[in-house]
Amino acid sequence: MGAQRVLVTKWGRFGMKFQELAIYFEKIESTASRLEITELLASLFKELTPYEMGKTMYLLQGRVVPLFEKVEFGMAEKSVIKSALVALQVDRSAFMHEFEKQGDVGRTIEIFKKELLTFEQQDLDILEVYDALHTLACSNGTGSQEVKTNILVHLFRELDSLSCRFLARIPMGTMRLGFSDMTVLDAFSWMLTGGKTLRPQIEKAYHVRPDLGYIGNQLKAQGIDGLEQVKPTLFTPILMMRAERTNNPAEIIEKLGECVIEPKYDGFRLQVHYQKKSGEVRLYSRNLEDVSAMYPDVIAGIQKEITADELILEGEAIGFDPHTGNFLPFQETVQRKRKYDIAEKAKEIPLKLFVFEILYANGTSYIQSPFMERRNALEGFVAITGDIFQDTITLAPQLITSDAHALEIYFDDAITRGLEGVMAKKKEGVYQPGARGSNWIKFKRSYSAKIEDTIDCVVMGYDYGRGKRADFGIGAFLVGVYDEEQDMFVTVAKIGTGLTDEEWKDLKSTSAAQITEKQPALYLVDKQMSVDIWIKPSAVVEIKADEITRSPVHTAGRVMKASKNGNALQVDIPGFALRFPRLQRFRTDRRPEEATTVSEVKSMFEHQVNTHS
Ligand code: AMP
């Protein structure tokens, strides 16, 4: 230990002392100038060997691993104080008295340590301190608190007073030197060139592998050429690509030409890293937090439904109603973000993962491949049945179009189905890590419309239920309004949520006498809205909805026209539909012809209150 370990290498000397690092910590802490911090970091980096660089980088962040790795020290302030008292042989009340004055454990320890010159200090290397802290962080389970305390006691004894100030802050997670990752990227450039010219290049690499220790190590070892080694890496999250925004379908087509339109799911984004051999799956949130522990159902789904040996993909996780097959609004999906009762909630609100990106598989990086190629590859790595009740993973459906009108209809339909809007993607676009690039354009509405009135609808039929609803024999029911011009009933919603068990039973029994084998001639229903059981017009129900939207699959107010080739009819003006419809009550006092009419729905649509969100 000590002086004889100092070794001069082509990069600098090996074996820098923690004490020297602590002097840098102090200088960095005491300046508010970003430029000065950049220069200080660069001069520190110059002194380190590549190996030391990586580890020192983590210590500068108050850690022993990169931020996205879930290794926590797990020491509270009181355990750190306990170690200090043992190490320094100080009386507790004297310590606490000083602590009250200082308001900072690190500074308090520093003060006591300064007075105790009798200890033989060993001047530990950065690497020795790093190793000790790494062991401290990684020990858990029974007896681990004692191991942690002992390690700290040892370090407090061996290190000088200034080092003790900073050391104390690391296990408590309070080491905040006041610089961002971006300042470190500047400092890397500064280290190599004395200026910020290389920052864009370095930042690009950081977006692919946001591990400052690794990048620092590469730059130190190989200079700027070291960045060529920076590739998508399993279990290191890649900064996620973001989307531009517009509210104008014509503008999307203008910008992207013929493009891919996907529904925009309103859940949360997950980046999945999977290795078949070890069975390991890690899930990262948009801010790169490891959230694997929260979503055991997604993990099991990946293990079962992914065929690649190694893979990184992205998707949107969204809550699913196992009774009806409907997707849930964000407010319900978000309940899955929790630390407790995880298994229970996973049963109640299982998640489906709509995958839309592949970034890496079996040794190949896909981030530079055009979007359509990525999608092809992605399809090759999932083994799913296509039955949403069975699969956890599902591929985001796609519409390829260059027609702004078709895009608008698709968008309206997505809104009706409770989704947020659509995502338009450039067919040839590469994946741009960390960037809000123009290869993706999101099209959401900037307002949410509200209707106060309820709508009286005729029950037209129902689907068999799943799960618990299978016992009732009814899982979702189709409702419509009266089209006075055509004297027909036309659909506005299929409802699968919001009814009590009693209400489901009531609905079933009141409709029993009215069941008919064929779709009644009075009903105009799109084939996508067809039901298992048809009911003659009889029961009227009062429905509350969030808003009236437009959908190509509902027939209220829908206008069709002949397609270009003259064969089939296609939607010209989509129908009216209810967004988030809920049953209020049965209207036993109403006859079917007294249901709300299409013209009333149209007028409600035109007068609904649009509030900007
Ligand atoms: P925003 O959060 O409004 O900027 O929209 C971008 C987010 O939409 C992404 O981060 C995803 O979480 C989410 N998203 C939902 N569906 C898709 C999709 N099909 N493709 C890409 N992102 C999607």
Please state, in angstroms and rounded to a whole number, the distance separating the CA atoms of residues 494 and 510. Answer: 18
Model confidence pLDDT, tens digit, residues 345-383? 999 999 999 999 999 999 999 999 999 999 999 999 999
Ligand 1 pocket, residue 316 CB under 6 Å: yes
Type of residue found at 202: I
Pocket test for ligand 1, best of 245, 371, 394, 423 (most atoms within 8 A of CB): 423
Model confidence pLDDT, tens digit, residues 546-561? 899 999 999 999 999 9
Pocket test for ligand 1, best of 269, 314, 359 (most atoms within 8 A of CB): 269
Percent of the chain with pLDDT over 70: 95
Please state, in angstroms and rounded to a whole number, the distance separating the CA atoms of residues 374 and 431. Answer: 9
Q: 118 pLDDT exceeds 70? A: no
Q: Which residues contact 146 (CB under 8 A, 6 or more apart)?
A: none
List alpha helices for 243-365, DSSP H. 249-256, 296-305, 330-333, 342-348
Q: How far is CA 143 from CA 78, 153, 417, in A?
A: 17, 16, 53
Looking at ligand 1, which atom is closest to the CA of residue 396?
19
Q: Whose CA is nearest to atom 3 of ligand 1?
A: 442
CB 424 within 8 A of CB 252: yes
Q: Which residues contact 176 (CB under 8 A, 6 or more apart)?
A: 62
Residue of 356, 420, 361 lying closest to 394 (CA atoms): 356
More confident residue, 130 or 469: 130
Q: What is the pLDDT of residue 373?
A: 97
Ligand 1 pocket, residue 57 CB under 6 Å: no
Q: 529 pLDDT exceeds 60? A: yes
Ligand 1 pocket, residue 396 CB under 6 Å: yes
Please state, in angstroms and rounded to a whole number, the distance separating the CA atoms of residues 285 and 269. Answer: 6
Ligand 1 pocket, residue 547 CB under 6 Å: no
Model confidence pLDDT, tens digit, residues 550-602? 999 999 999 999 887 777 888 999 999 999 899 988 888 888 988 999 999 99
Q: 19 pLDDT exceeds 50? A: yes
Q: 297 pLDDT exceeds 50? A: yes
Looking at ligand 1, which atom is closest to the CA of residue 440?
21
Model confidence pLDDT, tens digit, residues 39-66? 999 999 999 999 999 999 999 999 999 9
Ligand 1 pocket, residue 269 CB under 6 Å: yes
Q: How far is CA 422 from CA 237, 373, 404, in A?
A: 25, 21, 13
First to last CA, the chain: 63
Grade residue 1 by pLDDT with cuts at 50, 70 and 90: very low
Pocket test for ligand 1, best of 283, 286, 442 (most atoms within 8 A of CB): 442
DSSP string, 133-198: HHHHHH--STTHHHHHHHHHHHHHHHS-HHHHHHHHHHHHT----S--HHHHHHHHHHHHHSSSTT
CB 407 within 8 A of CB 261: yes
Q: 2 pLDDT exceeds 50? A: no
CB atoms within 10 A of CB 472: 19
Residue of 572, 596, 568, 602 lying closest to 584 (CA atoms): 596
Mean pLDDT of 492-520: 88
Ligand 1 pocket, residue 243 CB under 6 Å: yes
Range from 7-16, 65-74, 491-500, 514-523 that averages highest in pLDDT = 514-523
Q: What is the pLDDT of residue 3?
A: 45
Q: Whose CA is nearest to atom 8 of ligand 1?
A: 264
Q: What is the pLDDT of residue 468?
A: 64
462 forms bridges with which residues in the sheet? 477, 533
Distance 410 CA to ligand 1 centre (A): 17
Looking at ligand 1, which atom is closest to the CA of residue 420?
15
Distance 422 CA to ligand 1 centre (A): 9
Ligand 1 pocket, residue 408 CB under 6 Å: no
| Helix, strand counts (H, E) of the chain | 21, 27
Average model confidence (pLDDT) across the chain: 91
Per DSSP, the three-state class of 301 is: helix
Q: 245 pLDDT exceeds 50? A: yes
Q: 324 pLDDT exceeds 90? A: no
Q: Whose CA is nearest to atom 12 of ligand 1?
A: 269
Mean pLDDT of 242-270: 94
More confident residue, 121 or 309: 309
Residue 503, classified by CB atoms within 10 Å of its CB into exposed (0-12), middle (13-18) or buried (19+), is middle
Distance 434 CA to ligand 1 centre (A): 13
Per DSSP, the three-state class of 424 is: strand
Distance 426 CA to ligand 1 centre (A): 15
Which residue spans within 348-485 are E strands per DSSP? 351-361, 364-365, 393-395, 399-401, 421-426, 436-444, 447-450, 455-463, 476-483
Distance 380 CA to ligand 1 centre (A): 22
Give the global pTM. Answer: 0.84
Instruction: Tell me the catalytic residues.
Output: 264
Structural tokens at position 160: 């000088």
Grade residue 120 by pLDDT with cuts at 50, 70 and 90: low
Distance 264 CA to ligand 1 centre (A): 6
Distance 257 CA to ligand 1 centre (A): 20
Please state, in angstroms and rounded to a whole number, the distance separating the CA atoms of residues 75 and 71. Answer: 12
Q: What is the pLDDT of residue 13?
A: 59
Ligand 1 pocket, residue 356 CB under 6 Å: yes
More confident residue, 206 or 508: 206
Ligand 1 pocket, residue 264 CB under 6 Å: yes
Q: What is the pLDDT of residue 404?
A: 95
Looking at ligand 1, which atom is closest to the CA of residue 262?
19
Q: Whose CA is nearest to atom 18 of ligand 1?
A: 264
Ligand 1 pocket, residue 42 CB under 6 Å: no
Ligand 1 pocket, residue 424 CB under 6 Å: no
Domains, the chain, with CATH or none: 1-230 (1.10.3260.10), 242-444 (3.30.470.30), 455-612 (2.40.50.140)
Phi/psi at 233 (nearest 5 deg)? -130, 135
CB contact burial 232-271 (16+ within 10 A = b; e otherwise): bbebbbbbbbebeebeebeebbeebeebbbbbbbbbbbbb
Structural tokens at position 67: 């931020």
Q: What is the pLDDT of residue 424?
A: 97
Distance 4 CA to ligand 1 centre (A): 56
